Structure 1
Amino acid sequence: MAYATLTWVKPAIDDTLKLTRQSLEQFVENPEDTGSLQEAAGWLHEIRGTLTMLEIETATILVHEMEIVTQALLQGKLKNHGTAYDILMRSLIQLPNYLAHLALGYPDIPLALLPLINKLRALLKQKPLASNALFKPDIHLELPPGKPAPKLPDQKFKVFVHKNRANYQKGLMTVLKTKNKLAGIKLMLTTLTHVQQVCGTAPIAKAWWIAEALLEAMAQKGLPINAALANILKQIDGLLKQLVAHGNAGLRIQPPAALLQNMLYYAANAKSQGPRLSTVKKHFNLAYSLPSKSLLQSTLQVFSGPDIELMKIVVNIVKDDFTRVEETLDIFMRADTPDVTELEPLIEIMKNIAYTLHLLDMGGQAKSMLQQTQLIAAIAKGQRDYKMQEMLKIADALLMIDAALDTLANRGSHARQQIQQETGLLETQLKDVMKVVVEEAKLELVEMIPPILRFLEKKEVDEELKDIPARFTKISGLLHVAHRERAVKLVHLCAEYVQKSIIEKNSVPDEIRQKALADSLISLDFYLDTLAGNPMDGNQILDITQRCLKQLQAA
């Protein structure tokens, strides 16, 4: 999984970002002392290095622009220190939220950082980046499985592709030179469909697959025919030419990355809704690479909000008041002859909690708190009879709000939408049995790592390594109790690989399989987190596990 390593190093990045903020604050308090600003520049350089290694491109670009602005301040190139400081501080607020967004398993939305990047560039009168500069879909995704392609003899294959290329060129010329563009588009689409059938899911087939979606969009007037698209269609002809020249060996040709990215950018911008285009958009997650205005706006609100560390501080203050309310209610409900006037001090406390919840943008919880406050006030003032059943309902409502605060403290601004959409018990209120399942399974995974690392280093099978298949069996048993049968099957495959390929053969896997095994364990760990309440898509994580296992089993 792309950002698995980020989860491990994010605490260190957060600490360095905190040091950067402190250094900037010291510089603002004493602009004559540039030592603190020099420190901030050093911290930013360190963060950029980490993000570069993690291959988080957009965050790396943002930090690079922050470095440039900081250096400009040091060199006296910026007169308006206040504006520069404000934008740098906003960047230091949004960056940890962006990284938390990725670490929690949410889809990457690079364009959410574009406004900040361009504000930093504007400080030095640099040209703003266009949206396509941050358009970063994963072009390395494999094609969805389809019908197996027939294996044609090399000469027959070349003749087939050559014939279809001639038809493609005829269609292309019709589009470029005549008014009957629709006929030319349909001919090219038919041609690429034929070529796709003999290419299957070979690397070069990705170009035809995306090109078919673009041609479909053009036929449905979802894309205007312009010079840029014409150039793309000409490059597709160039790939067909290579396929004719190399025959079956040409199936292994990787389409140029720039071409694939350019094609996907047009696919993301296409307005039609044909089946080919819809499939391409979904497969490459283009809704996130080039998000709608509403998705971008909601994401910006999350990134601009308080980070998790600050949210925890606010939540802890609120929970102190919560504790007083819960203790008072507990004493009141346990009393043989409860005195309703003892509830009066709670009214003001609960009102203040409701106000804070409103400030935290937890509207549903604020409304619920006010409703409980009104009930408590009516009981305390003798306007409503005290009933145990009603008090239990109040206590349950408070527990729900308390659980929502825990979720907010653990996930920061990212939890708001999740909290507001939930109508039943929150994910944090898992049954005790599920908590036990997750904790035990995660412990088994953790204890597998040392013997595997020892084996990779010493190439010797010890007793702890031999225990790993049994540990996998225990995990699969726990998952079976939780009715997660797909996960059970994948865990069995992990156990089988370790038993047969490592223990029995006493064979050290190559680097590709070592990475695949590590990614399998990481993805299983992430999957267990989904059972414990993490909002990531469990099926999507298991898809990753399955792909890793295919790499392990590959001959």
Structure 2
Amino acid sequence: MLTIEGSASLNLVKEQIDESLSIAESNLEQFVEEPENEARLKAAIEQFALIKGVFKLINLPGSAILSEELELLGHKILAHHDKNNEPELAAISNAIMVLVHYLEYVEVKKQALPVLLIPTINEVRFFLNRPMITESVFFDLGENPPRPSKGAAAAPDMEQLQTSGRRLRHMYQVGLLGILRNESVSANAKMMSRAVSRIDALTGNAPISKLWWLTLAVLEAIGKEAVELNVARKSLLGLVDRQIKNVIHLGESALNKEPPKPTVQECVYIASLAGPVGDHLKEVMDLFKLETGGLTDANLRQEQEILRGPGGTVIRSVAEALTEELNHIKDSLDLGARGASTDDEGFESIAEAMRKVGNTLIMLGLSKAAGLFKEKADIVRNWKAEDVDAESDEFNRVADALLYVENSVATLSPRRGPDSSLYSSKAEEAMSDGISVTQLDDARRVVVGEARAGLSLAKRAITSFMDSNWDGMHLNNVPVTLKSVWGGLLFLQLHRAAAVVEACEAFIENQLIRDRSAPPTTALMETLADAITSVDYFLEGMEDDKPIGEGIMEVAEESMQELGYPVKAA
């Protein structure tokens, strides 16, 4: 479905294209030095026009588009020669470098993936004030069939949509906010999926429901980390939010609109990259007859890494190597303290290993840990096997420093953007308390895991209650289960979540077990499930050390408010 061709023809003209790019780059550099010499820029523009035609001839569409954008940007610089054009010239220079690397990639890999050039194309288009092209621009959608039908009786429930629509949109927006911040992506995607599923159920077989169906596939791909969460995909999720708003405010007129074909193409493209890793994705792939053995998003990211150079995986690899080295140092210190070392150099080799680790820590930006470790390395260097006392204050200070460095290295893998300070503070606390960040996290995850297991049991019991035509026997153990979850949440000092669980327990005890005068409605049970699931998503973020934020608690509290059991925010 993606354009993958042109690699064979490139070999015939590669030498000439390289020469044209070299000429363009040389003229551009001279124009930067001599801005009054417009002939240099015109010469570079001519080369862009020349290779654009060659790329079209040998069917390298991404390269052709980029060359055309460079030609247009060159003409814009000529037309506004009196202005500061340094950013535009830098963009052209960068694009030439990317194009050179891309052509080398095509030549070596024997495949042309024009999608790899989209970020660079959009960078140039930004300076041209032209709209960004989508990542699915090289994707062939083929036919655009309607979504699978839900059944003839699936009519829109406008009354319930008006009642619950704003809350469901809020649930979607809370998850979207976390997605935009790259926080606990899996849990936020699940929360958004739940909101969209509820909206889809209330929408019936209306034409706009196709968008909800495709969105569920996209969220499934994002939640399962089958695709990378980039700017284009975040923008797509924002577009869905606007469509939800239209449905809530405009009613039937919005329901009866088909989703735009470019939006459908974008969703199907993401599904093609994710593969059939979930039920929704399988449905989309079957309907649009997508190839399961094609290019995946993981493959695409690997190719981008080849084109751009090493990324975060390098840091993780270094962290793993440092962990192994620290374990070796710990073992050596232990043996040395017990006089069992076979090292003829005494503690000299241990000190040298500590200094090497310190130098690596500096490269990783952990300067405080590096300085501390080097300081202790100088102390260890002067130790003699017969004089070392494993119970002494000096030896314990070295052990504390080792624990601090170990904690600092452990923060490298989960560190993401602005949250990095959180993990640095953990290492600081561990230094003063003499405990391990890893062990603390493990203990916390045990409690969180038990709480999630309890919520899972409660959800299954509620589902059985609904499926059995409201047989209250299925709910008998739910209050006890939720009470244990409440205790675990209090232990973790998660007071808002604990208050929601307590309200859920009271609702189930009073409304579903004791009072059986009238069976509950499906909408009421779904709202209860929203509250419990919101707490579960919150805990999932904690379990993965990717906090989802307090916004999800607002959704849970709104659900309980709707049920008549308001929760006072902590």
Q: Structure 1 length as normaliser, TM-score?
A: 0.43
Q: Structure 2 length as normaliser, TM-score?
A: 0.42
